[in-house]
């Protein structure tokens, strides 16, 4: 490589602990300021390569692989004049929404209570999303807040955001080492037996009539499969029709909780992609996804033994269902299980 080219690119070796990680996840860890859209642009133009090959974002990395990255990826894109101008475009309604859903804030992190029906990040046909709202509030936060994990559009609850690049990198490493304890609450059809258990089923992405979904990996699909483990526990039940369950994912795969509950025959109520949208267990239950990121406990990026421990209240549609079925969420207000 000549000197002029080497000034514009760098090569990073994939660490042993990063083996099997998707390229897009690897980028979120090493370059949290690079958006998914910008990464796709770099891949399409061949500016990002793995072992000199053109690859896709879903490429799984092997230990020792050489990832070629343009040094421009290290430049925070929001510092450009165009990006700063974009910051002025956040609507008053979006600003009020973000302010209204802040559960916790300090100099390094922001924890939001994500509402139902709002996407966390942009995609095809998605113009209004949490990431975009935050990007338009640099004047409020002093830097561009960065997502460090994701929730599905219709999943509610605790969403952790880094307020600057250094915190994002540290939190990314914490999530990678599975040091974050996440608890979700859900309403599922029927009552799982036994009432406590562990679901271990590798997942692969597949196209479906309702869009992309994941399913259990079949023989011969090991290369594409993503190992996934979920612990579940029944908290309460409504006869044999439905159960309130606590879900604790060990891994963080797309749609993991939704797919795992369907696999054991107890899909989450209101989940149209995973057989939970029909034959609701009681009249007057809203046909919305009943999945809520209830609590997150994670080491603080500032270190020194500090922890973030935040709980989100049930969203309105789940509160209504809990009242309808006689479930009492208030008993966990001081000590979540």
Residues 241 and 122 in one domain: no
Residues 308 and 250 in one domain: yes
pLDDT band at 71 (very low <50, low <70, confident <90, very high): confident
Residues 33 and 113 in one domain: no
**What CATH number has the domain bearing residue 42?**
3.10.290.10
Instruction: Please give the helix or strand (H or E) that residue 110 lies within, else none.
Output: strand 109-114
Residues 256 and 221 in one domain: yes
Residues 201 and 307 in one domain: yes
What value does the mean pLDDT of the chain take?
87
Both tokens assigned to 46? 């061949």
Please count the other Cβ atoms lying within 10 Å of the Cβ belonging to residue 51.
14
Please count the other Cβ atoms lying within 10 Å of the Cβ belonging to residue 145.
25
Decide if 189 is inside a domain: yes
Q: Which of 176, 201, 218 is the last residue of a domain?
A: 176
CA distance 95 to 103: 15
Give how far Cα 168 sits from Cα of 27, 73, 87, 161, 300, Å.
12, 15, 20, 8, 11
pLDDT at 83 over 70: no
Domain of 315? 181-332
Mean pLDDT score, 184-198? 97
pLDDT of residue 127: 80
Cβ-count burial of 82 within 10 angstroms (0-12 exposed, 13-18 middle, 19+ buried)?
Answer: exposed
pLDDT at 323 over 90: yes
pLDDT at 39 over 80: yes
pLDDT tens by residue, 240-298: 999 999 999 999 888 999 999 999 999 999 999 998 887 888 888 999 999 999 999 99
- Set 108, 113, 131, 152: catalytic member: 152
Decide if 7 is inside a domain: yes
pLDDT of residue 210: 58
The count of domains in the chain is 3
Annotated catalytic residue 152: yes
pLDDT of residue 314: 97
Q: Which of 32-41, 190-199, 210-219 has the highest mean pLDDT?
A: 190-199
Residues 214 and 288 in one domain: yes
CA distance 299 to 303: 7
User: 321 or 24: whose pLDDT is higher?
Assistant: 321
pLDDT band at 53 (very low <50, low <70, confident <90, very high): very high
pLDDT tens by residue, 2-12: 444 455 788 99
pLDDT at 87 over 80: no
Decide if 28 is inside a domain: yes
Both tokens assigned to 205? 């992405």
Q: Which of 11, 6, 22 is nearest to 49 (CA)?
A: 11
3-state secondary structure 117-170: CCECCCECCECCEHHHHHHCCHHHHCCCCEECCCCCCCCEEEEEEECCHHHHHH
Decide if 17 is inside a domain: yes
Residues 188 and 326 in one domain: yes
**Entry pTM:** 0.74
pLDDT tens by residue, 130-182: 999 998 888 888 888 999 999 999 999 999 999 998 999 999 889 888 889 99
User: 71 or 97: whose pLDDT is higher?
Assistant: 97
Residues 19 and 84 in one domain: no
Mean pLDDT score, 209-229? 81
**What CATH number has the domain bearing residue 231?**
3.30.2350.10
Decide if 227 is inside a domain: yes
pLDDT of residue 336: 54
Mean pLDDT score, 46-58? 92
pLDDT of residue 334: 60
Measured at the CA of 103, the angle between CA 97 and CA 105, to 5 degrees, comes to 100
């Amino acid at each position: 490589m000549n000197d002029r080219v080497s000034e514009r690119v760098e090569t990073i070796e994939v660490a042993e602990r990063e083996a099997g990680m998707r390229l897009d996840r690897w980028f979120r860890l090493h370059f949290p300021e690079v958006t998914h859209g910008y990464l796709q642009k770099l891949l399409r133009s061949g500016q990002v390569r793995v072992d000199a090959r053109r690859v896709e974002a879903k490429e799984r990395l092997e230990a020792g692989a050489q990832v070629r990255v343009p040094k421009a990826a290290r430049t925070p894109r929001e510092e450009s004049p165009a990006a700063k101008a974009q910051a002025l475009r956040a609507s008053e309604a979006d600003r009020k929404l973000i302010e209204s859903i802040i559960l916790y804030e300090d100099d390094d992190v922001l924890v939001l209570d994500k509402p139902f029906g709002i996407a966390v990040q942009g995609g095809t046909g998605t113009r209004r999303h949490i990431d975009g709202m935050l990007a338009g509030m640099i004047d409020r936060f002093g830097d561009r807040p960065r997502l460090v994990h994701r929730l599905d559009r219709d999943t509610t609850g605790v969403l952790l955001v880094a307020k600057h690049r250094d915190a994002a990198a540290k939190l990314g490493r914490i999530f990678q080492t599975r040091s974050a304890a996440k608890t979700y609450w859900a309403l599922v059809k029927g009552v799982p037996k036994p009432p406590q258990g562990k679901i271990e089923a590798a997942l692969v992405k597949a196209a479906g009539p309702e869009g992309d979904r994941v399913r259990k990996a079949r023989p011969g699909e090991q290369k594409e499969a993503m190992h996934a483990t979920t612990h579940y526990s029944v908290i309460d039940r409504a006869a044999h029709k439905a159960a309130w369950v606590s879900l604790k994912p060990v891994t963080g795969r797309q749609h993991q909780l939704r797919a795992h509950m369907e696999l054991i025959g107890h899909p989450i109520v209101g989940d149209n992609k995973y057989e939970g949208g029909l034959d609701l267990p009681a009249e007057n239950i809203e046909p919305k996804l009943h999945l809520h990121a209830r609590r997150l406990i994670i080491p603080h990026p500032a270190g020194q033994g500090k922890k973030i421990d935040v709980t989100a209240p049930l969203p309105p549609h789940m509160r209504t269902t809990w009242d309808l079925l006689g479930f009492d969420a208030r008993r966990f207000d001081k000590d979540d299980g």
